A and B are shown apart, each in its own frame.
Chain A
Amino acid sequence: MSFVYRYRFGVLALTVVGFVLLWDAYSAIVNNPSSLASPSDTLHWFYLLTYNPGVHGILVSGLQLTLTAIFEGFAIAAVIGIPIGFLMGRYVIVDYFLDPWVNAWYSIPAIAFVPLVMNWFGQSYTATMLVAFLIATFSIMINVYTGVKNVSASLVEPGLSYGANGTQMMSKIILPASLPDIMVGLRLGISRAIDGVIIAEMIFTVGGFGGIIFDAADKLELGLAVACLIILAIISIILNETMKYITRRVVAWKESAAMSR
């Protein structure tokens, strides 16, 4: 047990401080607030974001827009992606029919959806949400599909020998056994939904967090951009960790199986 490991939280704090100091030193060298924001700039903007009513209002409305788009896109993606993934895992014919498409759409870089969606819905909230949906849903679909398809034979065989019918097989064996993969799919889905919303908002620049960051950088208010970026980072870390926490709670048995291994 090394020294560094024992004091890892202290070491982490030190690296954070070191990072801020390096950032400060580098921005002092660059010495140009319109090409690199210094930590004090950023701090100043944090102050404005909290106490200046105008800036605060922009922040709150942007946050609302972005978060609703993320959650709505993600929810629709889950509602559509999970059943289709299930069907693909269950029925070979659905699998063979959809697999090339799902894989192909999954591989398309998110941003390629933006001009298409823009044609249909303009630079609107719906379009942003739809980009998030399109990106998240295939990731969810693929993970559900893989989980359902690869349910271990040692779980399925007893079910078959005890004469479980289709519903029982689904609800008592397949669903619980594929739950870990479904949860992984949902977690990857939400991070992809965040990506999608930010990309769409940066291009539409009609509002939302991506729009604020892009706009701020465009107007060379880099302190504001960095401050918003830090807030966005904290939000995505919170969402990610929440999903991890839910996964741990839902599939606690899986974790213990991995540990006893």
Chain B
Amino acid sequence: LSAESNRNTTTIPVEDEIEVTPAISSPSTFWRRKRDVSLINTIPGRIGIFLVSLAVFVVIWQILATTLNNTLTLASPSEVLSALGSLFAGNVPLAATGVGNIYDGILTTIELIAVGYAISLVGIPIGIVMGRWRAAESIIDPWINALYAIPMIALTPLFYPLTGASFSAAILVVFLISVFTIMINTYSAVKYTSNTLAEVAKTFNASESQFLTKVVLPASLPEIVAGMRLGLGRAVLGAIVAEVLVMFSSLGNEMFTFQMILDTPRSMAIVFVIALIGIIALQAPRLIERYAFKWKETERLQRGFKR
């Protein structure tokens, strides 16, 4: 036990680095007050309540905008909508360079996220190696823990003098921001593979490679994928930050350029587009996960406690 606790002080417990993914509907939530809410538990009811909350949000925004009555401070929903329309009509050049349109900007952003994120998937094999071999863990773990805690965004200005305002500098930022999240999640998932599974594998005399491919990887897949999702969210943040700080003629830069030329509706429209990219990047994988890893969810519930 002492050796175990000793290890625990140098490494992180599972719950630590993984943001909790909400269970869809677990029996443990039965205590929640559901009086008079049978209607909203149906699918039309949920859609209805979402529409209501959407309407409330837009109305509050509209009221705020009319009270302030200052387009520079807060553009009203209709102004932002028409700005979005004019941007997506494709005839508004990007303000910073005067060439291209919003589609080019979106494509650049997506390309940046895709390339940087693809490179950062190298975190998965490194995480597996760290989770399986203690020697590798003891060398790499302190570094990763430290690098993960550092706001990588602060590194961005340093790449500018090294590589110039280039696409590759931006990719480096995206990579550095997302790789450690992916690595740490893989590492802790592999390291804390359930003892029950490990013991069964040992009893049946599984070789190391069998143990790895048939037990460890399937068991830790949901958490690896959760790490990939969190990494993707960070990659989006990294991409936009990199665009603002090291790249020109990109979505991130436009947001500030339009703001600086006091075109608040267009600036807010681009904020909206960026927000949408972030939401899609973070929420779409979650939906996929829910359906792909239903077995994991049930297993967790059967164990009687979370995680």
Residues of the B chain whose Cβ atoms lie less than 8 Å from the Cβ of A217: 157-158, 160-161
Given that A8-B138, A92-B40, A233-B150 are contacting pairs, would A152 and B274 also be in contact in the complex, using a CB cutoff of 8 Å? no
Q: Mark B238-252, 1 if CB is under 8 A from A, else 0.
A: 011100110000001
Q: Mark A238-261, 1 if CB is under 8 A from B, else 0.
A: 011100100100000011011101
Q: In whole angstroms, what is the CA distance A250 to B52 when docked?
A: 39
Contacting A at CB under 8 A, from B33-78, are 33-34, 37, 40-41, 46, 49-50, 52-53, 57, 72-74
Q: Smallest Cβ distance from A47 to chain B, in angstroms?
A: 20
**In the complex, residue of chain A having the shortest beta-carbon distance to the beta carbon of B1:** A259
B291 contacts the other chain (CB 8 A):
no
Contact across chains for B135 and A142 when beta carbons are under 8 A apart:
no
- Residues of A in contact (CB 8 Å), total 91
B172 contacts the other chain (CB 8 A):
no
B156 contacts the other chain (CB 8 A):
yes
| Contact among A89, A160, A244 for B32, CB-based, below 8 A | A89
Contacting B at CB under 8 A, from A202-218, are 202-203, 209-210, 213-214, 216-218
Given that A36-B162, A202-B245, A259-B4 are contacting pairs, would A236 and B150 also be in contact in the complex, using a CB cutoff of 8 Å? yes
**In the complex, residue of chain B having the shortest beta-carbon distance to the beta carbon of A218:** B157
Q: Smallest Cβ distance from A218 to chain B, in angstroms?
A: 7
Q: Mark A133-176, 1 if CB is under 8 A from B, else 0.
A: 00000010011011101111110100010000000010000000
- The segment from A48-56, A72-80, A99-107 that touches chain B is A99-107
A43 contacts the other chain (CB 8 A):
no
Instruction: Give the dominant DSSP class at A's interface.
Output: helix
Given that A120-B73, A184-B20, A255-B8 are contacting pairs, would A107 and B135 also be in contact in the complex, using a CB cutoff of 8 Å? no
Q: Smallest Cβ distance from B115 to chain A, in angstroms?
A: 17
**In the complex, residue of chain A having the shortest beta-carbon distance to the beta carbon of B274:** A112
B268 contacts the other chain (CB 8 A):
yes
Contact across chains for B13 and A12 when beta carbons are under 8 A apart:
no
Q: In whole angstroms, what is the CA distance A241 to B244 when docked?
A: 30
B91 contacts the other chain (CB 8 A):
no
A111 contacts the other chain (CB 8 A):
yes
Given that A214-B157, A233-B150 are contacting pairs, would A119 and B73 also be in contact in the complex, using a CB cutoff of 8 Å? yes
Q: Smallest Cβ distance from B305 to chain A, in angstroms?
A: 5
Q: Mark B13-31, 1 if CB is under 8 A from A, else 0.
A: 1111001111100111111
Q: In whole angstroms, what is the CA distance A143 to B52 when docked?
A: 25
Given that A111-B237, A111-B252, A261-B195 are contacting pairs, would A101 and B53 also be in contact in the complex, using a CB cutoff of 8 Å? yes
B97 contacts the other chain (CB 8 A):
no
Contact across chains for A225 and B157 when beta carbons are under 8 A apart:
yes
Contact across chains for A112 and B240 when beta carbons are under 8 A apart:
yes
Q: Smallest Cβ distance from A174 to chain B, in angstroms?
A: 8
Contacting A at CB under 8 A, from B153-193, are 153-158, 160-162
Q: In whole angstroms, what is the CA distance A96 to B167 when docked?
A: 41
Contacting A at CB under 8 A, from B209-261, are 233, 236-237, 239-241, 244-245, 252, 255-256, 259
Closest 6 CB pairs of A and B: A217-B157, A8-B138, A4-B135, A107-B282, A109-B237, A240-B149
Q: Which residues of B contact A (CB under 8 A)?
A: 1, 4-5, 8, 10, 12-16, 19-23, 26-34, 37, 40-41, 46, 49-50, 52-53, 57, 72-74, 134-135, 137-139, 142-143, 145-146, 149-151, 153-158, 160-162, 195, 233, 236-237, 239-241, 244-245, 252, 255-256, 259, 264, 267-268, 271, 274-275, 277-279, 281-283, 304-306
| A–B complex contacts, Cβ < 8 Å, 19 sampled | A5-B137, A12-B139, A35-B162, A89-B32, A90-B33, A92-B33, A92-B37, A93-B37, A95-B32, A96-B46, A97-B52, A98-B53, A107-B282, A109-B275, A109-B278, A111-B241, A146-B22, A151-B31, A187-B16
